[in-house]
Amino acid sequence: MTAISDPLEPFNRAMFHFNDKLYFWVLKPVAQGYNQVVPEPARVGVQNFFSNLRMPVRFVSSLLQGDVKGAATQLGRFLVNTIWGVGGLLDPASSEQLDMPKQDADLGQTLGIYGVGQGFYLVWPILGPSSARDSVGLAGDFFLYPVSYINPWYDWLAVRSYEEVNAASLRIGDYEALKEAAIDPYVAIRNAYQQYRQKKVEAGRGQPLPPNPAGAPSEEATGY
C-alpha cells in the first residue's frame, strides 16, 4: 500500500500536538470525571442515541454506493431503535432476532468507492486525522447530521461537546496505548488512519471491514 502523501507535515504535526494536549489536558480529565458519575450502561445509551441520529449519513452514503439493501437496513434500524429503543437509547435492531447491523458508511468512503484517491494527509484541530478526500466527505456528512442544525450555535457546541465527552469516556486508554507503543505517534496514527480508510473503501466494494485501529477516527469520534 502506497503511503499517503504528507506535504503539510509541519502544519499537521502542529495540529497533532495541539490535539494531543487538548486530549490530555481537557477531554480526558473531563471524560474521567464523567465516567465516575455516569454508569457505563447510561453512557452506552447516549452513544446509541447519537449514532441513531446519524442515520441520514449512513442512509445517503449507502444509496450513493448503490447499496439499496444497506440503505433500507439503515432506515429500518432507525425506525426500530427510535420506536422500540426509547428514542435510540437502546439498540434492539442489532439483536439476533432482528439482525439489522449498522452500515458504517460515510461520504468520504463513498468518494473512495467512486475512485477518488485519498489525496494528501490532513490533521484538523479537534477533528483529528483526515485527508483531502475525507475532508470533503466530512463537510457533506456535517450537513446530513441533524445535530448540525441546532440553533443558536452555542447550543450546538454544547451538544457536540457532550457527545465527544461521552464518546471519549468509552474509549479511554485506546489512544494512550497506541502512543506508548509507537516510536513516532504522529506517523503511527497517520499510517493507521490511511490503512483504515482504505479498508473501509474496500469494504464498501464487498470486502469485510476490519476493526477500527486505535487512533483512527470512528463515526463517534468524528461526530458526523
> Is 63 or 216 the better-scoring residue by pLDDT?
63
Per-residue model confidence (pLDDT) at position 205: 81
Per-residue model confidence (pLDDT) at position 2: 67
State pLDDT tens for residues 44-60.
999 999 999 999 999 99
Average pLDDT of the residues in 60-88: 96
Whether the CA torsion 56, 58, 60, 61 is positive or negative: it is positive
Q: How confident is the model at residue 221 (pLDDT cuts 50, 70, 90)?
A: very low
Per-residue model confidence (pLDDT) at position 218: 52
Q: How confident is the model at residue 210 (pLDDT cuts 50, 70, 90)?
A: very low
State pLDDT tens for residues 121-172.
999 999 999 999 999 999 999 999 999 999 999 999 999 999 999 999 999 9
Q: Is the pTM of this model over 0.85?
A: yes
State pLDDT tens for residues 117-126.
999 999 999 9
